[in-house]
Structure 1
Amino acid sequence: MLYVTHLLSPLLMLVLPLFLGFLLHRRLKVGWSLFGVGALTFIGSQLLHIPFNAGLTALLANKVVPAPPGDWTLWVNAAVLGLSAGLFEEVARYLVYRFGTNSARTWRGGLMFGAGHGGVEAMIVGALAGLAAMSMIALRARGASAAPLPPELSAQLTAYWSHPWYYPLLGSLERVFVLCFHLSGAVLVLQVFTRRSLLWLGAAILWHAVFDAVALYTLATVGLYWTEAVIGVGALLSVGMVFALKPARVEVVAQRR
Structure 2
Amino acid sequence: MVSQSIIIFIIVAIVFCTLFPIVSVIYFKNKEHFSIKTVAIGGLGFFLFVMVLESLLHSMVISTKIIKVNTITFAIYGALAAGIFEEVGRFVMFKFFLKNNRQWKDGLGYGLGHAGIETILIGALSYLNALIMSLAINSGTINNLLKNQNTAEIETVKNSLVNVTLLATSMGVFERVFAFTIQIALTFIVLYAIRERKNIYLLVAILLHALVDSAPALYQMKIITNIYFIEGLVFLFAIISFIFIMKTKSLFNDKVQIEISK
Question: Alignment partner for residue 130 of structure 1, among 128, 136, 154?
Answer: 128
Tell me whether 1:33 sits opposite 2:30 in the alignment.
no
Displacement after TM superposition at 1:151 (Å): 5.6
Between the aligned partners of 2:127 and 2:67, the Cα distance in structure 1 is 35
Deviations 1:135-161 (A, max 9, x none): 321331238xx9xx9564244223302
CA gap of 1:128–1:100, structure 2 versus 1, over 3 A, is same
Between the aligned partners of 1:34 and 1:117, the Cα distance in structure 2 is 10
Tell me whether 1:224 sits opposite 2:224 in the alignment.
no
Instruction: Give the aligned partner of residue 81 of structure 1.
Output: 78
Instruction: Give the aligned partner of residue 58 of structure 1.
Output: 63
Which of 190-199 and 173-182 deviates more?
190-199
Between the aligned partners of 1:25 and 1:92, the Cα distance in structure 2 is 23
Between the aligned partners of 2:152 and 2:219, the Cα distance in structure 1 is 29
Displacement after TM superposition at 1:110 (Å): 0.5
Aligned-residue identity in percent: 20
Q: Could you say what secondary structure the match of 1:166 adopts?
A: helix
Displacement after TM superposition at 1:26 (Å): 1.9
Deviations 1:79-111 (A, max 9, x none): 211111111111111011111123531111101
Deviations 1:51-106 (A, max 9, x none): 112212233x2xxx4769xxxx7332222111111111111110111111235311
Structure 2: which 5+ runs fail to align?
none
After superposition, residues 38-53 of structure 1 pair within 5 angstroms as 38-46=42-50, 47-53=52-58
TM-score in terms of structure 1 length: 0.84
Q: Could you say what secondary structure the match of 1:104 adopts?
A: coil
After superposing on structure 2, the runs of 4+ consecutive aligned residues of structure 1 that deviate more than 6 Å are none
Aligned positions, number = 243
Between the aligned partners of 2:42 and 2:192, the Cα distance in structure 1 is 17
Instruction: Give the aligned partner of residue 117 of structure 1.
Output: 114
2:39 and 2:113 in contact (8 A); partners too: yes
Instruction: Give the aligned partner of residue 11 of structure 1.
Output: 15
CA gap of 1:159–1:21, structure 2 versus 1, over 3 A, is same
Displacement after TM superposition at 1:171 (Å): 1.2
2:84 and 2:206 in contact (8 A); partners too: yes
Which of 155-164 and 177-186 deviates more?
155-164
Q: Could you say what secondary structure the match of 2:166 adopts?
A: coil
Structure 1: which 5+ runs fail to align?
none
Displacement after TM superposition at 1:233 (Å): 0.8
Tell me whether 1:160 sits opposite 2:161 in the alignment.
yes
Between the aligned partners of 1:87 and 1:152, the Cα distance in structure 2 is 32
TM-score in terms of structure 2 length: 0.83
Between the aligned partners of 2:83 and 2:46, the Cα distance in structure 1 is 12
After superposition, residues 70-109 of structure 1 pair within 5 angstroms as 74-109=71-106
2:188 and 2:245 in contact (8 A); partners too: yes
CA gap of 1:184–1:139, structure 2 versus 1, over 3 A, is same
Instruction: Give the aligned partner of residue 185 of structure 1.
Output: 186
Between the aligned partners of 2:215 and 2:172, the Cα distance in structure 1 is 17
